[in-house]
Amino acid sequence: MMGTVSFPGLGLEFQLNRVAFHVGSWPVYWYGIIIAAGFLLAVFYCSRKAGQFGIRQDDIIDMLFFAVPLAIIGARLYYIIFYLDLFRREDGSLDFGAMVRIWDGGLAIYGGVIAAVLTLLVFCKVRKIKFLAFADLGVFGLLIGQLVGRWGNFVNIEAYGGPTDLPWRMGIYEYVGGALQYAEVHPTFLYESLWNLLGLILLAVIAQKWRKFDGQMFLSYFAWYGVGRGCIEGLRTDSLYFFNTTVRVSQVFGFATAAVAIVLLAVNLLRRPHDPEALWVNQVRKNARRVALVYPEGPDARKWLERQKKRLEREGAYVETYALPAGAAEETGELLAALEAREDLDQILKK
């Protein structure tokens, strides 16, 4: 369970144990902990950004209840299909026990993405939510999960590339012809983690400033990730291949999805008019219950405001907030009168 990884050009060396700790006799692996951490960070980020896309936080939690287990199954099945020989016993029979031991590694991200997208399609159909708006939010969770999850490959000492003498090369011990040998290789897990981090930052800026249509972030994700994965996959030594060929599955899939996404982005951005009102978030806000929260300035009122705003936004309401200056009775009365006169407000809550 122990392994050594070094970065000789940087003067770094790590002694890695795949097992973080034991619960009784049951080992808890770092791979699972890292995947769980990426999942929690993705849920936290998407929950904070849900309102930007017109999605309720409750819908995120409900969707994940179905999407997470199905995505794990999809990622594992994708890996098993293209690496079936790894799960055969010496007599040629299939080892189903090995197939379910996902903590040993062996999850293919594209299988998980396909399963998650199909789950989201069905979920949005049932809940009457615009799929592309939800998908725009979801890709941020994917990027976070991927950039964190790749460090599980680091602990497992897997998903690395071929030989290199670059300054950031990674030193590992691997079996070659049955003998354990030292090799210096591309840290491709690190390349992909950094690529996803850069993509997360880039897409977050685009979503904040230049998002023109629902589906733009969804397509941008496939364009960005597809190009990066296609290039990085060419460096790896553990790629999944199409049956009995030297064609790398993830490289073909990455470049193909990137090409399609780039064409669709170009068509939508350059040749189609964009009405801000057509965005799902603006449709939701237009039709949502509008609530004004009026509160006096002060720390206690701030806590009340945060609780009420969180509750109302979770219910899908559009919230406006108004602070009342201390000792300004006349201004307070004028504000309340103005709010009560508004026909577009459904409710006024006052602390």
Q: Given the DSSP bridges, would you call strands 12-17 and 2-7 parallel, antiparallel or unpaired? A: antiparallel
Cα angle 190-192-194, degrees, rounded to a multiple of 5:
70
User: What's the rounded Cα separation, in Å, for the pair 239 and 189?
Assistant: 13
Look up tokens 């993705």; give the residue. Answer: 42
Closest listed residue to residue 185, CA positions, set 1, 8, 13, 16: 8
Annotation-wise, does 150 bind a ligand? yes
Residue 295: what are its φ and ψ, rounded to 5°? -145, 150
Which tokens in the block code for residue 53? 């896309």
Q: Residues for the chain: how many in total? A: 351
User: What's the rounded Cα separation, in Å, for the pair 217 and 287?
Assistant: 24
User: What's the rounded Cα separation, in Å, for the pair 243 and 20?
Assistant: 36
User: What's the rounded Cα separation, in Å, for the pair 205 and 350?
Assistant: 35
At 222, the amino acid letter reads F
Q: Given the DSSP bridges, would you call strands 290-296 and 318-324 parallel, antiparallel or unpaired? A: parallel
User: What's the rounded Cα separation, in Å, for the pair 171 and 186?
Assistant: 9
Torsion from C-alpha of 50, 142, 149, 62, nearest 10 degrees: 60
**Are the C-beta atoms of 52 and 314 separated by less than 8 Å?**
no
**Are the C-beta atoms of 113 and 193 separated by less than 8 Å?**
no
Q: Given the DSSP bridges, would you call strands 347-350 and 290-296 parallel, antiparallel or unpaired? A: parallel
Cα angle 8-29-254, degrees, rounded to a multiple of 5:
70
3-state secondary structure of 159: coil
Q: Which residues are annotated as a binding site?
A: 150
